[in-house]
Chains A and B, each alone.
Chain A
Amino acid sequence: MTLFDLALKNIRRNLKSYSLYIGSTIFSIVIYFTFVTLKYSEDISVLAETSKQISGIMSASAFVLMIFVAIFIAYSNSFFMKKRKKEVALYSLLGVRKRSIGFLLFFENMMIGLLSLVVGVGLGFLLSRVLLTILMKLMGLDIVIGFAFSMDAVVNTFIVFFIIFLFTSMQGYRVIYQFKLIDLFHAEKKGEELPKARLISAILGVATLAAAYWLALQDLMTSPIWRMLSLAMPIVIIALTVIGSALIFSSVLVYVLSVMKKQERWAWKGLNLMTASQLLYRIRGNAKTLTIIATLSATTITAGGAVFGLYYNAEKDVQTYTPYTFMWEGAPQDINPDIIEHAETIKSKTLRIEQDINEMEYAVINQSTFEKLAKNLEWSDIQVANEGEVLMIDAFYDQRWSQREESVMIDGAEFAVAKLYDKAVFNTFTLGASAIVVTDQLYSEIKADEKTYQAVKVEDYKNQFALSEELAASTENFSSATQDYKASIEATGSLLFVGSFLGLVFLVATGSIIFFKMMTEAEEDKAKYAVLHKIGVSRREMRRTIRNQVGVIFAAPLVLGLIHAAVALTAFSNLFMMDLLVPVIIWMLAYTVIYTIYYFATVRSFNKTIQQD
Chain B
Amino acid sequence: MEPLLVVQDVEKIYGKGANTFKALEHISFEIDHGEFVGVMGPSGAGKSTLLNVLATIDSPTHGDILIGHDNIAKMKEEALADFRRDHLGFIFQDYNLLDSLTVRENILLPLAIAKKPAAEIRERVDTIARTFGITPLLDKYPYQISGGQKQRTAASRALVSNPKLIFADEPTGALDSKSAADLLESLSKLNDEHEATIMMVTHDAYAASFCRRILFIKDGQLSKEIFRGTKTRKEFFQMILAELAQIGGDVHDVI
Contact = CB atoms under 8 A, between A and B. Distances in A.
A133 interface: no
B141 A194 contact: yes
Given A534-B90, A538-B82, A540-B78, A273 B99 contact: no
Contact of A274 (B101, B111, B121): B101
Interface stretch (B22-30, B112-120, B244-252): B112-120
A533 interface: yes
Interface stretch (A158-166, A275-283, A329-337): A275-283
B88 interface: yes
B55 A534 contact: yes
B189 interface: no
Interface in A187-217: 190-194
Interface string A520-550: 0000000110111111111111000000000
B142 interface: yes
Given A268-B121, A278-B100, A534 B78 contact: no
A536 B161 CA distance: 12
Contacts of B85: 535-537
B13 to A, nearest CB: 17
B98 interface: yes
A541 B90 CA distance: 19
B239 interface: no
Interface in A19-70: none
A195 to B, nearest CB: 11
A129 B96 CA distance: 55
Contacts of A541: 81, 113
Contacts of A532: 109
A268 B101 CA distance: 12
Interface string B129-147: 0000000000001110000
Q: How large is the interface on B (under 10, 10 to 19, 20 to 34, 35 or more residues)?
A: 20 to 34
Nearest to A282: B100
B143 A191 contact: yes
Contacts of B96: 527, 530-531, 534
A528 B142 CA distance: 13
B178 to A, nearest CB: 23
A267 B57 CA distance: 27
Nearest to B97: A531
B98 to A, nearest CB: 6
B52 to A, nearest CB: 9
What 3 pairs between A and B have smallest CB-CB spacing? A191-B143, A536-B85, A536-B84
Interface of A: 190-194, 264-265, 267-274, 277-278, 280-281, 527-528, 530-541
Interface of B: 55, 57, 77-78, 81-86, 88, 90, 92, 96-101, 105, 108-113, 115, 118, 121-122, 141-143, 157
19 contacts: A190-B143, A191-B141, A192-B99, A268-B111, A270-B115, A273-B109, A274-B101, A280-B100, A531-B97, A533-B81, A534-B96, A536-B82, A536-B84, A536-B86, A538-B78, A538-B81, A539-B81, A540-B78, A541-B113
